[in-house]
Amino acid sequence: MAQGGLWDVDGTGMRKIEDPNLARALLEKTNALDIGIGKDVLIVSTIFAVLPQGITSSLAIWTTILSALYALGIKLSSSSA
């Protein structure tokens, strides 16, 4: 939305951003976020491509398990407080 110069501030629908400085700032922030995410994905993909399959399979399984536990809010703590 910011890349098109639009936003929905109050829930009534998309409107043009009137202030050109604010529109430019939102566009720059959005583009920086997109580039940052792209770099992170490239790094992780490269690591998975370089490592042997046995390691990446185990890593992927453990990442999936830990992500599911995190999403479900299950704590992996040794303390029972």
pLDDT digits (tens, 9 = 90+) for 33-76: 999 999 999 998 998 889 898 888 888 899 999 999 988 887 66
Under DSSP, the state recorded for 66 is H
The pTM for the full model equals: 0.54
Under DSSP, the state recorded for 7 is E
Answer for the pair 7, 26: CB distance below 8 angstroms, yes or no. Answer: yes
Residue 79's pLDDT is: 57
Answer for the pair 1, 14: CB distance below 8 angstroms, yes or no. Answer: yes
* Whole-angstrom distance, CA of residue 21 vs CA of residue 8: 17
Residue 80 has pLDDT above 70, yes or no: no
Burial 61-81 (b: 16+ CB within 10 A, else e): eeeeeeeeeeeeeeeeeeeee
